[in-house]
Chain A
């Protein structure tokens, strides 16, 4: 299978106060198309930094990152934004839905950047909400939904533009066990039935068990690469 994500000798550091902290040290990684990759590791190990680089939210200081055939380290800010809109769906720990918009309006937001007509957008939104089992909550605002339902809306939003890659930052970190299971099963379905490549950061071993490959990070390097069969 072709590599969707290819990372070569990536170095990333941040300035905190007056100190420069190197978060990723000459990191190399390849993620194949259709993989469900779990990223684990202690706090400060560089998981989220790596996820941000893969999702095109940040740029490396050194090295090359190629995702979905595009050299992200070479793109300008606006090119990167357009690339994100086309190729990546994001799922956050705290859902990050727009609080004054209904579920369907939240899901529609990425489609505003496309040339789809209003009717087409509406139809795609309905399909995405049906996929995550929330057709009956389309007009509800985030505050009127449970945590699990909000996360499902966030997943629908991440899927709506049919991205190459789903990037999930602790998607079950704010959920009870039952809701977390539902979200993980949904991600598994998306991975297995729709062939979506998923990169997920998690602290939770139960969540990690759903991944088809597990990477352990420590102090900015890959400590262990653990292929496994899906749950």
Chain B
């Protein structure tokens, strides 16, 4: 500890350079933490999504609406136990910059389709009684401080009502939760309540959620649904939720590979940057290091001072970066778009903190060892004479 002022002095020697290096390392570790968080989040989504129900979408475009009449035809296919339409009402709540997405569904059917939704029977009954009722995920309810009985005004952006207004009022009649409560983020309203009032997209649905009797037959049932509409102008693409998500993600590419590739490239670049900075810093302090040796510091002692300097810079900056990622990532991923898909906020996993510390130490050692060895080998007489 008593040598810390010497290390601190070395870092303070060129404050702008130290700050910029710190900023670069922090940015790299922010990316590292955030991307690994997303990576783990996606893996978790894949793990938590179900194969026990199907998602039917338009074959043309994932967001293209299909006729509501599809629901009855899907329901008639053997193995299908329930069908719910799935429409989205996009709008704002209280402020124009506060987006909100409400899902129009047949909530009774949704309960049969998604057995993992946990709602009390009294709240289900209240939902059945209330046309303007909504069931809100506990995470979203907590986020906004909503409670049962509250009235939720919303200004829609993607459609207007038949009376010309875009203002909606919903009544919170219940909340639902999941095995992982942080993922209970959706807001379910009655499909009919929205459908009757809208001017565009009436009697249409962007998705159908389909309950099936046997998850082992999900592929066959999905094929049967798509076959049913093969000659229709509104062809469908059906998959179980897990396959659907994985195929959507695979369209983006191999996420894991991309994330690791980006992180590796950033770290590799950073290695050169940090190595250069520390080497330059040590070169500039050649005579100062020689003075320390003159005063009695051993070669190994001077070498350790340089290494500790690199370690402190690396670890401190990495800690800032990962801390920032742990704050920003949940904030970035708690938006209504992911929430409407039932995906909760992503977090930097605990393992990433340990991995960051490890990577930071490795980075500091790789970039710090060459100048530290140079400092160790420094010849006092040569250094003091400026040769």
Any A CB within 8 A of the CB of B116: no
Any A CB within 8 A of the CB of B287: yes
- A interface size (C-beta, 8 A): 27
Q: Are B380 and A57 in contact (CB under 8 A)?
A: yes
Q: Are B9 and A81 in contact (CB under 8 A)?
A: no
Q: Are B380 and A105 in contact (CB under 8 A)?
A: no
Q: Are A92 and B9 in contact (CB under 8 A)?
A: no
Bound together, the chains give a CA A161 to CA B288 distance in angstroms of 19
Any B CB within 8 A of the CB of A27: no
Given A81-B298, A110-B296, the answer on whether A100 and B384 have CB atoms closer than 8 Å is no
Bound together, the chains give a CA A113 to CA B384 distance in angstroms of 21
Quick one: which of A108-122 are within 8 Å of B by CB?
109-110, 112-113, 118
B2's partner among A82, A101, A118 (CB-CB below 8 A) is A118
Any B CB within 8 A of the CB of A78: yes
Any B CB within 8 A of the CB of A96: yes
CB neighbours of B147 from chain A (8 A): none
Any B CB within 8 A of the CB of A77: yes
Any A CB within 8 A of the CB of B144: no
Bound together, the chains give a CA A99 to CA B291 distance in angstroms of 12
Count A/B pairs, Cβ under 8 Å: 67
Give A38-57 as 1s and 0s: 1 = Cβ < 8 Å from B's Cβ atoms. 00000000001000100101
Q: Are B380 and A109 in contact (CB under 8 A)?
A: no
Any B CB within 8 A of the CB of A58: yes
Bound together, the chains give a CA A90 to CA B301 distance in angstroms of 19
Any B CB within 8 A of the CB of A84: yes
Shortest distance between the CB of B20 and any CB in chain A (Å): 18
CB neighbours of A48 from chain B (8 A): 385
Shortest distance between the CB of B383 and any CB in chain A (Å): 10
CB neighbours of B13 from chain A (8 A): 99-100
Q: Which residues of B contact A (CB under 8 A)?
A: 2-3, 5-6, 9-10, 12-13, 287-288, 291-301, 380-381, 384-385
Q: Which residues of A contact B (CB under 8 A)?
A: 48, 52, 55, 57-58, 77-78, 81-82, 84-86, 90, 92, 96, 98-101, 105, 109-110, 112-113, 118, 157, 161
4 A-B pairs with the lowest CB-CB distances in the bound complex, closest first: A85-B296, A100-B9, A81-B298, A78-B298
A-B contact pairs, 30 of them (CB 8 A): A52-B380, A55-B294, A57-B294, A57-B380, A57-B381, A58-B380, A77-B298, A77-B299, A78-B298, A81-B297, A81-B298, A82-B296, A82-B298, A84-B296, A85-B297, A90-B294, A90-B295, A96-B384, A98-B6, A100-B9, A100-B12, A101-B5, A109-B6, A109-B295, A110-B295, A112-B2, A112-B6, A113-B296, A118-B2, A161-B296
